[in-house]
Amino acid sequence: MIAKMITTLILTTILVSLPHSEHGFSQTAGGTTSFPPNPVQDEKRARLNAKIQQAREHEEAKRWSEAETAYREAIIIRSQEGLPFGSRESFGLSRVLKAQGKMVAAMQACKAALAWSSKTEKWTVNGVSLCQVTAELAILASENGYQDLALEMYYAGLSSFQRRGTIETVPILVAFQASPGMTHWTYSVDRMKAASLALLIADGSFESSERENALDRIISIAPEWYWPHAYRTYAQDDPSYPMAISLCKNDQEREWLRRKIDRDEAIFREADEIRKNCAFIHVRNRNLLPEAEVVDW
């Protein structure tokens, strides 16, 4: 009897301590953990998800005002129903505000899509890509004159960036301070936009046509950077190859371009090592976003 009570207490403690998820499960280092059924919470989530879906439909149809209203209603639902932190509705609101040219409001909404993890002492999200949110916020913060926040968010995305199993990109190593192996850029609003757009492309945030437009924007901002041309290069007879190889600044870039064409996955492990050894990109500053919700996962 005592053993049974102890087992029940341990299981209860584990369930309570598991991180919340938008979909009734949590992705952890050890795998996917399912939560026990909870009809009341499921009904609340269903109401929230329906409102977010409505907002997405308006957004996809470019009905910006209707999308903005629906996303704001979704934010209210989460708050009123006491649902755990989530990023989808705030990040969606940020997108539609940006589409309407409301850049300050878009930045504030994007901030609300981030939480601070007391467990890892890093920025985190729920329901969206961390790299996508931080890269978008880096652009918005830079455009609105918040250089420190822009750098914080760009480095948060760069340090957590995980390539999604494709061979379509070459490593992104742009930093706004000098560090061995990194590509050093002097900070400017345009340069921050170019570097953050590259992160968004590599994270898979754009559809095909949007991706090509983003690559063109990067080229217009940083015409001397080999990366967007290398991204488009799959073989030496591709039209992009002559420009890509001519813009390589050192043997490392030339070697990575060659090995990218050869589909050599090892270049990304090497890039991870370079990023890992760039200490300043891994240091987070909680004080730059003091209003962020704190979560324990």
What is the pLDDT confidence band of residue 80, given thresholds at 50, 70 and 90? very high
- What single DSSP character describes residue 235? S
Q: What is the pLDDT of residue 15?
A: 35
295 strand-pairing partners: 117
Q: Report whether pLDDT(14) > 50.
A: no
Q: Report whether pLDDT(24) > 60.
A: no
Q: What is the pLDDT of residue 74?
A: 98
CB 110 within 8 A of CB 136: yes
More confident site: 267 or 230: 230
Q: What is the pLDDT of residue 219?
A: 98
Q: What is the pLDDT of residue 42?
A: 86
12's tokens: 């209860």
What is the pLDDT confidence band of residue 34, given thresholds at 50, 70 and 90? low
Start-end of CATH 1.25.40 domains in the chain = 37-113
Name 291's Cβ contacts closer than 8 Å, sequence gap at least 6: 111
Q: What is the pLDDT of residue 23?
A: 46
Q: What is the pLDDT of residue 257?
A: 95
Q: How far apart are CA 80 and CA 18, in angstroms?
A: 22
pTM: 0.85
Of 271, 274, 273, 245, nearest to 257 by C-alpha is 245
pLDDT tens, position by position, 232-275 = 999 999 999 999 999 999 999 999 999 999 988 888 888 889 99
Q: Report whether pLDDT(30) > 60.
A: no
CA distances from 108 to 114, 152, 167, 211, 291 (A): 11, 15, 35, 25, 10
Q: Report whether pLDDT(210) > 50.
A: yes
Q: Which residue type does 236 have?
A: Q
Residue 21 CA from chain centroid, whole number: 17
Q: What is the pLDDT of residue 21?
A: 53
Instruction: State whether residue 72 is helix, strand or coil.
Output: helix
The tokens 């492990």 sit on which residue? 269
Q: What is the pLDDT of residue 16?
A: 36
Whether the CA torsion 66, 67, 71, 74 is positive or negative: it is: positive
Instruction: State whether residue 125 is helix, strand or coil.
Output: coil
User: What's the CATH class of domain 37-113?
Assistant: mainly alpha
H helical segments located in 100-146: 103-111, 130-143
Mean pLDDT (whole number) for 165-187 = 85
The chain-wide mean pLDDT, for the chain, equals 87
Tell me which of 14-18, 128-132, 149-153, 164-168 is least confident. Answer: 14-18
